[in-house]
Structure 1
């Protein structure tokens, strides 16, 4: 059985960074930029399904000596997919509403399309230059800081524009908001919600490849 564990030995912060499978422990690369690269890989049509699997495995497991048979890969990415799609703010009854000022739904943002706004907002609020955090900042850390971005940051202002109900506005204010929404509009297949669906389907693709 393969499970995602938190290692106190190699990572004192206790962040997720190891897999256990059949009694063996494997280091997994869950740096924030690795996860974001995986998201981009899923929607890259230049790669075949088989190539995506090979590249993704290399991303997460680096150059470790692993006997990556079909069962290992299927189980590994099943757990990785579930981990990446976890949302600590969804309640037991499925309500994913959040406190005012936080990101409320993955359909209102895209890590790819909003990359510059997210970069600027991290620097603005935390003084963190994400370019210097590649292969340093863990996905858990990035996700927590991302969720904590305040309503006045560049990124969150864009999210608020997308969420605005223009029917509640009138005249010039309505026209300006419509233009702003057009400027920052997301393609349906670019939203983080769409990416999460792609991650969920990644496991099915692996199974199909294994059976072929």
Structure 2
């Protein structure tokens, strides 16, 4: 699909029938946040179907395939990764909501709170098109910055400080796991069961 030559879809084809899909950007943001969360995969599938389909189709495998296609705006993508860079996400809709809101308002004059609906594919294109002078783009740059041996000591310190300052908080389950590993290491415990 090409956003320049084709209308953004409001349905997906499942078993030869056009099935309505929740195309508003808020649904896909909820989906991405849910996929990044700690729910078991089986629950994620059920929740994803509920997010995207007003009535969940009987052909579950095809419905999942089509919602993933829709989420990716007709392109290859992996949900819940938040634009990964250097092994970690470079944005989080939950954590960066204020920066993203401000960027859309500043650059496009779009109040994401007031807009009745905005197609996910259009939102995604606008998000990817944010200019470098928006704070969220600057922050994503810090998060994705690779610290290399060629950098000066001052540059390395600066980027490490920025990465720490703008780090996306780990989910509760990850924090608990890291805390348990840290405690085991400090007290001479066995970490093999924690890894």
Measured against the shorter chain, the TM-score band is: 0.5 to 0.7
Q: How far does residue 51 in structure 1 lie from its aligned partner after superposition?
A: 4.2
1:179 aligns with 2:157: no
| Pairs within 5 Å for 1:103-142 | 106-107=84-85, 108-133=90-115, 136-142=117-123
Question: Which stretch of the first structure deviates more once superposed, 26-35 or 167-176?
Answer: 167-176
> What's the C-alpha RMSD, in Å, of the aligned pairs?
3.2
- Taking a change above 3 Å as real, the CA distance of residues 86 and 24 of structure 1, as seen in their structure-2 partners, is closer
Match of 2:136 among 155, 171, 182: 155
Query: 2:3 aligned with 1:16, yes or no?
Result: no
> Which is bigger in relative contact order (C-alpha 8 A, separation at least 6)?
1
Shift of 1:73: 1.3
Q: What is the number of equivalent residue pairs in this alignment?
A: 158
TM-score (norm 1): 0.61
Return the offset for 1:123.
1.2
Structure-2-length-normalised TM-score: 0.66
Structure 1 residue runs without a partner (length 5+) = 7-12, 91-104, 190-212
The counterpart of 1:57, out of the listed 27, 49, 53, is: 49
Matched-pair contact (CA < 8 Å) for 2:103–2:134 = yes
Task: Note closer, same or farther for the CA distance 1:17–1:181 as it changes in structure 2 (3 Å cut).
Answer: same
Change beyond 3 A, Cα 1:87–1:147? farther
Rounded to whole Å, the distance in 2 between the matches of 1:173 and 1:23 is 56
